[in-house]
Amino acid sequence: MSASAAGLTGIIALFVLLGLRVPVAFAMFLIGFLGIWFLNGLNAATSLLASEAFTLGSSPELVVVPLFILMGNVASVTGMSRQLYDAAYAVVGPIKGGLASATVIGCGGFAALSGSSVASALTMGKVALKEMDRYNYDPRLSTGVVAAGGTLGILIPPSTGFVIYAILTEQSIGRLFLAGVLPGLLLLALFVLAVTLLCYLRPEFGPAGPSTSMAEKLRAVSGAGPIAGVILLTIGGIYGGLFSPVEAAAVGAGAVTLIGFVTRRLGLVQLWEAAKDSVVTTATVMLILIAAHLINPFLALSHIPSAVGELIEGLGLSATGVLVLILAVYLVLGCFLEGFAMLVLTLPIFFPIVIDLGIDPIWFGVLCVLALEMGLISPPVGLNVFIVKSVAPNVSLGQIFSGVILFWLMMLLTLAILVAFPQIALYLPDTMIN
């Protein structure tokens, strides 16, 4: 069997294992190890497994993952995520569809703490769905806005998607975090605009919430002040050159924990639970990264990436045309594959092509992560849809998928805007103080 045939067989086998619900990391470990064994011998496979596990496990840059995850978990167990929602609720709740808009804003704020789309959808779903149900929101809108709003967690920094992209492509985590800020805010604004327009055109979908006095608004906003300050401190510290991403993660986790103790919302039991959840999530991310560094050499040995590159070059497309083609592939794969699996499988193939065409790797990273985000609400996999289903068991999957269509279109519009105007993503990292 030729190297290319072995590579193609390995990719097909990997898709089969993922279709059988084998965990992503384990499937990649198996295919990568067996593929390298077949193409380069058992010694090479075992040596690479040991060296990559040690190299990644001892990488100082990856300390950012558990620290930011811990920050989000502590914010969740102490109720700080509820404060973000309450502040948004007080300000925009009284307008038509205001509770849904508050949910989007709350998801955006929590995303800036947790870096996790699943955590954002689960946490805000528990907080917001009961309120929207109480005011007779259409279940398609209420569940759709939670599922879509949760996806902001993979784009608004700190984002585990950016961390994995940075490790796989050897790019700056700090620059990627900064590149996600303006696109994340743009997407959040488009989500709110979509909710507002829908509820003005179809008032029965989202009635206005209860009116609040100026004093109540100020009280709710001031209640979210400490956690908003932590968000500004971490992201602003990276932008201003005060902190590296790792230092910002440490400052953020320490600040949130300190606030929890000072306000007496965080005890040793809650801290232990947050720490345990952080360890489990970090272990999952690390396994995926180690597996990625095992399967990537297998794909390189099989010459699959170079063959795909030659095929795309043969199409005679411009750089923009190739970029649009790659993003279209991501949108299709997002219907079937988990986001991190897509990154690991496709970057060894697409990234060299992107670099050869002179496409900015930071800009491409933002586009990739946004495409992965769209996969989180794309049928039939749509992980965030199933997360929301677990919180709202009385709403059918069909209704939730129907509810996310509008937001999926807003994400597609954001993707098109970022392709047309790359400076939206590149402005902050290009002006960053080193």
- pLDDT at residue number 423: 94
With 70 as the cut, is the pLDDT of residue 392 above it? yes
397-419 average pLDDT score: 93
pLDDT tens digits along 91-100: 887 888 888 8
Nearest to 233 by CA among 215, 212, 259, 213: 259
With 70 as the cut, is the pLDDT of residue 434 above it? no
Scan for tokens 């600040």, then name that residue. Answer: 255
- pLDDT at residue number 386: 82
Split at pLDDT 50, 70, 90, the class of 232 is confident
Share the mean pLDDT of the chain: 84
Q: Report yes or no: 97 and 128 within 8 Å, Cβ to Cβ.
A: no
55-63 average pLDDT score: 77
pLDDT tens digits along 139-185: 999 999 988 988 887 788 778 788 889 888 989 888 998 899 899 99
For the chain, give every domain's residue range: 60-430
- pLDDT at residue number 406: 93
Tokens of 271: 């801290």
Tokens of 409: 């279109």
**Burial class, 41, CB count within 10 angstroms (exposed 0-12 / middle 13-18 / buried 19+):** exposed
Q: Which residues of 6-38 are buried (b: 16+ CB within 10 A; e: fewer)?
A: bbeebbeebbebbeeeebbbebbbbbbbebbeb
- pLDDT at residue number 158: 77
* pTM for this model (two decimals): 0.81
Task: Name the CA radius of gyration of the chain, rounded.
Answer: 22
pLDDT tens digits along 16-38: 887 787 877 788 888 888 988 88
